[in-house]
Each structure stands twice: as structure tokens, then as C-alpha cells.
Structure 1
């Protein structure tokens, strides 16, 4: 008498779809925080913005604007080569600017 165990890393399409819907609903519950990365009154493009809690990462666009999911007390890290890293704790606001400084 022989036994074998069949395992597969694959799930049905139906299960995968249910999981995707669940993840999307959870993502939509997070609020969006947007703003600009600024240096000396000029908007900075290509600044990396990372939510330390969720690990979500985005970059500022050519106008220096960013949008990222963030909840109250989340920590956002702003970084760009040649500039000091900037840390921002999210409060109740839906808009925040990051004032970047050049590395000395």
C-alpha cells in the first residue's frame, strides 16, 4: 500500500479573485496623504517617499507632488540622493509638504 501527498502552490482562480478583492478593499480603507517635496521654494522630482509601517513606496512626479496611503502616526521617510533624509509623522492632515535640505 502506497500513499502520496499531492501539493500545489496554485490556487483556483476563484480563490485568487476573492483574495484580490479582499486586498483591494483593505487598501481602499487607508486614507491618502498627498503633498509636495520642496527645496528652497522649488518642487523636487524623483524624491522617494516610503511609509515605514506599510512599506509602500512612491516617488514624487515632475511637479514634486506625491500621494501615498497613510494613517495617523505612520512615519514617512523622504529621500533623494544629495539631500538629507526627511522624516514626517502623519497626523490628522490629508496634505503635508516635505522640506528637503541639501547634504552639507
Structure 2
């Protein structure tokens, strides 16, 4: 896995070519993939890599892209989230797992 692909969209495209083809979203106690109807709790997935991006013109336009895999469910995908901004409904365990990968 490359350490840098360039922009957020270039990185998403590069990771999709490496098999990270699902889209994950944060939902309360877990991350979910609506494409496969899969819900992964923090112990069910690994964060293989995290990429940080800052907006060129707006410092508030910052995001983190997570490359996520789950051998248990045999899935690989991506989660995009803002720096330090997590769903109010996200569990403490989920937020902690995501935060430890971009400190």
C-alpha cells in the first residue's frame, strides 16, 4: 500500500484498485457498509492505513481517509471522516479506535 497517492480523490481511487472497494459509515456502536449490509464493531475490523488531507483554501476543510479491512467478514473498504469530528451517536470504543490511528 502506498504511503501517498496525492489528493483525497486520487487516494480513494488508488485504494479501490488495491481492493478497498466498499464504503463504510459511522453508525453508533459500529461502522456499516450499506452495499453488503455489514456492521462491524471496533473489534471486528482493522485500520490498515490512515491518510490525512487538508483543504488548500479552507483550513476547516480537513479529512481523514481510513483503509479498513475485516478478515472475519472478508471485506475491505474506506471510511472518510473529518479531523476530530465524529458522529454524536458513535460509541466511545469506536471513536477511540479511529482516533488512535491519526495521532
Alignment TM-score > 0.5, same fold: no
TM-score (norm 1): 0.30
TM-score (norm 2): 0.30
Higher normalized helix content (fraction of residues): 2
Instruction: With a CA cutoff of 8 Å and minimum separation of 6, indicate the structure with the bigger relative contact order.
Output: 2
State the structure with more CA Rg: 1
Higher normalized strand content (fraction of residues): 2
